[in-house]
């Protein structure tokens, strides 16, 4: 079977976010060159070159699976990055020279993003990904290539979408408290809200349905539970 032909000038990168109940995290990989781990290398978003016979969406899903084992993830295209200097950092060049046939080639990358529930997923690094790590977005270090720019653009994309789409509600339990919902908003928007104002605004919407149930087995006063009605979602 013939190996797929690689396009040396176009890549895809994936910024995969998750909410753990208190913090927003992003999935990063440690790179390898063949069987060798690179000393003091930079972490990176999962990404790689596309094949000549696949479209961008197919490439993004393939690359994410090959590097992390994640599949059937709903990926959305965010932005295209084409700065001629985006792959010129010395550590990136050192890595490219060990794994790419054309390390000097200019590469334009298309960024994708998704917000997932990591507890329902199993991350299995492979290919040139030595490890796959969930890192809090507030603790993201300097990344490979222009991946800090891609990470920030994808995060801004989510911040806009949370006001117009039912973004992130699959990350909450089926029945949740308003405090849990507020933490989700605060984590994505990197902001804090007054408890009363947030609740008043949320409860004016039709997509939060109060239940005749309260928390059980908690040390504090049990809070009322709510569920999410996706069919009623509209802008807050």
What structural domains does the chain harbor? Answer: 6-161 (3.90.79.10), 169-232 (1.10.10.10)
Helix (H, G, I), strand (E, B) or coil at 40: coil
Interstrand relation of 208-214 and 224-228 (parallel, antiparallel or unpaired): antiparallel
Residue 115 has pLDDT above 70, yes or no: yes
Mean pLDDT over 41-51 rounds to 94
- Average pLDDT in the chain: 89
159 pLDDT band (50/70/90 cuts)?
very high
Higher pLDDT, 80 or 117: 80
Percent of the chain with pLDDT over 70: 94
Residue 35 has pLDDT above 70, yes or no: no
Taking only the tens place, the pLDDT of each residue in 89-114 is 888 998 999 889 899 999 999 999 99
Evaluate whether 158 touches 79 at the Cβ level (below 8 Å).
Answer: no
Give the number of other CB atoms < 10 A from CB of residue 84.
9
**CA 93 – CA 89 distance, rounded (Å):** 6
Candidate from 121-125, 165-169, 217-221 with smallest mean pLDDT: 165-169
- pTM of the model as a whole: 0.90
**CA 176 – CA 210 distance, rounded (Å):** 10
Taking only the tens place, the pLDDT of each residue in 24-33 is 999 999 998 7
Residue 39 has pLDDT above 70, yes or no: no
Looking at residue 102, the DSSP 8-state letter turns out to be -
38 pLDDT band (50/70/90 cuts)?
low
15 pLDDT band (50/70/90 cuts)?
very high
Quote the strand ranges of the chain, DSSP E.
6-19, 24-33, 36-37, 47-51, 76-81, 108-116, 129-136, 208-214, 224-228
């Amino acid at each position: 079977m013939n190996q797929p032909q690689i396009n040396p000038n176009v890549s895809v990168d994936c910024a995969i976010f998750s909410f753990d109940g208190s913090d927003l995290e992003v999935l990063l990989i440690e790179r390898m060159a063949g069987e060798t781990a690179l000393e003091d290398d930079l972490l990176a978003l999962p990404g790689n070159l596309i094949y000549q016979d696949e479209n961008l969406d197919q490439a993004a899903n393939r690359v994410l699976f090959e590097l992390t084992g994640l599949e059937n993830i709903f990926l959305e295209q965010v932005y295209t990055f084409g700065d001629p200097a985006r792959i010129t950092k010395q550590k990136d060049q050192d890595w490219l020279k060990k794994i790419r046939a054309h390390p000097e080639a200019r590469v334009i990358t298309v960024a994708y993003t998704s917000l997932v529930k990591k507890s329902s997923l199993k991350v299995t690094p492979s290919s040139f990904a030595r490890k796959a790590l969930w890192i809090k977005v507030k603790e993201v270090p300097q990344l490979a290539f222009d991946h800090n720019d891609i990470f920030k653009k994808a995060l801004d994309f989510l911040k806009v979408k949370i006001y117009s789409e039912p973004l992130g509600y699959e990350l909450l339990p089926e029945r949740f408290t308003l405090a849990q919902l507020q933490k989700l908003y605060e984590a994505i928007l990197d902001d804090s809200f007054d408890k009363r104002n947030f609740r008043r605004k949320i409860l004016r919407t039709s997509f939060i349905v109060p239940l005749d149930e309260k928390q059980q087995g908690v040390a504090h006063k049990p809070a009322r539970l709510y569920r999410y009605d996706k069919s009623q979602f509209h802008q807050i």
